[in-house]
Chains A and B, each alone.
Chain A
Amino acid sequence: MSFVKGLKCRECGREYPKEPIYVCEFCFGSLEVVYDYEKIGRALTRKAIAARPPALWRYRELLPIDGDPTVGLTSGFTPLVPARNLARELGVKTLYIKDDSTCHPTMSFKDRVVAVALTKAKEFGFETVACASTGNLANAVSAHAAAAGLGCYVFIPGDLEMGKIISSLVYAPKVVAVEGNYDEVNRLCSEIAGKYRWGFVNINLRPYYAEGSKTIAFEIAEQLGWLAPAHVVVPLASGSLSTKVWKGLKELHKLRLIPDLPTRVHAAQAEGCSPIVTAFKEGSDVIRPVKPKTIAKSLAIGNPADGYYAIQTLQESGGTGETATDEEIVDAIKLLARTEGIFTETAGGVTLAVAKKLIKQGRIPPEEPIVVCVTGNGLKTQEAVAHQIGQPIRIRPSLKSFEEAVGSIQ
């Protein structure tokens, strides 16, 4: 059963049918899925959701598919970890980590968007799927395409972390490393997408793909006992995640699944690639693209497609934005690991570093509940911290050697 009416341009409002298209022919605005909320309201209740398997598809009515889900059936529903040690360290009362470093199967929030995108790709009859990616999306598309029996091409910047390259190659897709940064890969892919009849998850499947990110917000609210938190801090690359977290919360509120919507959505970018936060801080209505220079490669998008909508999200929700330096990113990765036993990739370091800053600046008050979205796993970006976390203690296999070594470090 479908709850989707069609697509609509976010800029000029022109309507389009449910097809693999992504951009308005008249103004180049991005297309957004339009739902029949009345129909959804009759089908989707807290009780119905509670009876379903713990995966992102438990919110199926709010996802843009027509039939039953066919890809990524076990993705999503990651832990919302009460981070008591970290909260104490940061001097706040209640802080949660939404831990998508455990998302199944490729350990980042991209498993959510890809589950939706590839289910949709199969509905459209595509036999090959593809993406442009900073790494995590490529991993997710590669794994899900393998399981779904789809052909797969992934395009990545040439300088990605080895962990992210291996985590695509192992699923045997065609991995194309492009000499250039992500924005150049993306431009190339939009030209390839025009020529080949593939389901490009972030191009012609984009309206559907992006909706998968809403499930982070749905889960946070459900895991809080159907309440919206006061603050959510999310990382920004293209800006899409922040807009979808906000859209997800608004939908729950509209459907009366949560009683009110006090949430402020805050944006985190790396200092070496912060076109959205910079424009937000300057109050500028133009987002100037940048050439990224940061260790947070998964956020290194210098020309963010959803930047304007991300700024709109911050303004509408009353949130704010900050940036983190490479040093602050590494410190935050180590802080999260040391306090909560969670190893995040650089994007999570950016998000926590920014949360820390906003708390220190008083822009997030210490008594209000905070959710920090950790979107990826540190095992994929080990280079970022490898030389800043010490060395093992080397000893000979004898008790004497151990006690000498321990004595010297105690």
Chain B
Amino acid sequence: MGVKVRIPTPLQKLTGNQAEVICGGSTVRDLIEGLEGQYPGLKERIYDEAGKLRRFVNIYVNEEDIRFLEGDGTSVKDGDEVSIVPAIAGG
């Protein structure tokens, strides 16, 4: 069944306008590698040239920010939900 990944609007051009895709992997990093295979170009939007997560990208595993978990080494399993969300202002 894989991991359900929610794709933010700015990246949906790469996923053929799909807002949710299913992918496999054991960590967040794996998952994004997998997505890159299915939707080429997606990885470079999320990681910078140095291979670090871009600073304005927030990733959540089951609604928890991965920076409170183990970053992109956070493990994921079948049935988990992952959200990729651009940072947004507020108040």
A residues lining the B interface (CB < 8 Å): 11, 21-30, 110, 131-134, 136-137, 182-184, 186-187, 189-191, 193-195, 202-203, 206, 209-210, 237-238, 240-241, 286-289, 291, 298, 301, 303, 305-306, 308
Contact = CB atoms under 8 A, between A and B. Distances in A.
Contact of B45 (A28, A286, A303): A28
B30 to A, nearest CB: 21
A209 B60 CA distance: 26
Interface string B46-84: 001000001111101001010110000000000000010
A28 B56 contact: yes
B90 A133 contact: yes
B87 interface: yes
Contacts of B12: 194
Contacts of A134: 90-91
Contact of B54 (A28, A184, A240): A28
Contacts, number: 102
B65 to A, nearest CB: 6
B9 interface: yes
A36 to B, nearest CB: 24
Interface in B9-35: 9-13, 19
B86 interface: yes
Nearest to B46: A28
B67 A289 contact: yes
B88 A190 contact: yes
B1 interface: no
Interface of B: 6, 8-13, 19, 45, 48, 54-58, 60, 63, 65, 67-68, 83, 85-91
Given A28-B45, A289-B65, A237 B87 contact: no
A190 B65 CA distance: 14
Given A30-B89, A134-B91, A210-B89, 8 more contacts: A186-B90, A190-B8, A190-B85, A194-B19, A195-B19, A202-B89, A238-B91, A303-B87
A347 to B, nearest CB: 9
B90 A301 contact: yes
A208 B85 CA distance: 20
Contacts of A184: 63
B90 A187 contact: no
Contacts of A133: 90-91
Contacts of A27: 45, 48, 54, 56
Contacts of A21: 10
A26 B88 CA distance: 16
B13 A238 contact: no
B67 A187 contact: no
Contacts of B58: 187, 303
B60 A306 contact: no
Contacts of A191: 6, 83, 85
Contacts of B87: 28, 30, 303, 305
A24 B91 contact: no
Nearest to B41: A26
A107 to B, nearest CB: 15
Contacts of A308: 55
A186 B60 CA distance: 12
B45 A25 contact: yes
Nearest to B90: A202
B37 to A, nearest CB: 20
A87 B73 CA distance: 52
Contacts of B55: 286-287, 308
Contact of B10 (A25, A291, A306): A25
A298 B91 CA distance: 7
A373 to B, nearest CB: 13
Contacts of B19: 194-195
Contact of B65 (A22, A183, A237): A183
